[in-house]
Structure 1
Amino acid sequence: MIEYKYIQVKDAIKDWKEAIRIGAKPLLEDNIISDNYIEQMINNVIKMGPYIVIAENIAIPHARPEDGAYKSAISILKLRDKVKFGEERQVNTIIVLASANDEKHIETLKKISNVLSDKTNYNKLINTESVAEIYNIWNHKD
């Protein structure tokens, strides 16, 4: 479900905007998304608030396919120090979602939901600092 090269573990990040930019960088480098897609993810949070924080410690920034998603993929940025989204929401796991069309968007969200709804996976994800372990969680390998 996720390529190894799309997983990053970092220390402190200045703010949520930088977290989105860094989290999306592997997708940008592989021409899966455009710079505009990254800016739209940030603009969505500015306009609508931290709606992308879907659970404690987890945010899923995304934008519309027409904003510059050329292919469908996810990337993950795991932070050792949490970053604030809004006044109250703190996140250590950013899952950048790029979908080339609405059908792929729903399909990928279902896969993300399946992984995160498993308490063991969720707890491993928010507590690990290992790229290999994150990869295994998303690709169902132990």
Structure 2
Amino acid sequence: MLENLLTSKTVQIKKDVDFDWKEAIRLAASPLLDSGKITDSYIQSMIDVVDQNGPFINIGPHIALAHSRPENGVNEMGMALMKVAPAVNLVSEDHPITLFFVLAASDNTKHLEALKELATILEDEGSRQRLEQATSVDELVKEFKGVRE
């Protein structure tokens, strides 16, 4: 499922970044907004959730998974990824993030398979290192397809 969600159209790399975590979420979500999978209100909802609850979307070393409720502006299930350098602090310097994933779940169950696949990749040390070291969108996309060179 991930290979259909995280593609060259939904994965991006931003280098020499100088923006905050709110702008990082906005930019990471932009492919989903541009394709009509989410609305502006969904992006604001993801930001509001972190403002209210803190950096709970920091799901692993340098990894964030931004999301909100489907009724807050999801038109169709989707996922996006933006890799940044240098790291962007999520709320505080205790949470430096380089991989900003965005999940747009259209209901309470369809996205679970994608999350399971993502967890498997992120739990694998080799996969995580390849994501952290990737210098191109193609390298990132290949990791979600399971293609190794």
The 3-state SS of whatever aligns with 2:96 is: strand
**Which one-letter code corresponds to 1:106 in the other structure?**
L
TM-score with structure 1 setting the length: 0.96
Identity %: 34
For residue 13 of structure 1, report the CA deviation from its aligned partner: 3.6
2:45 pairs with 1:40: yes
For residue 20 of structure 1, report the CA deviation from its aligned partner: 0.1
**Which one-letter code corresponds to 2:53 in the other structure?**
M
1:1-142 matches, within 5 Å, as: 1=2, 2-11=6-15, 12-87=17-92, 88-142=94-148
Relative distance call for 1:13 and 1:73 in structure 2 (3 A) is farther
Deviations 1:37-96 (A, max 9, x none): 000000000000000001111000001111111111211100021000122110011011
Partners of 1:80 and 1:129 within 8 A in 2: no
For residue 108 of structure 1, report the CA deviation from its aligned partner: 2.1
In structure 2, list runs of 5 or more residues that go unmatched.
none
**Which one-letter code corresponds to 1:113 in the other structure?**
A
User: d(CA) in 1 for partners of 2:111 and 2:50?
Assistant: 18
TM-score with structure 2 setting the length: 0.91
Deviations 1:104-132 (A, max 9, x none): 23222112101111111111112222111
RMSD: 1.0
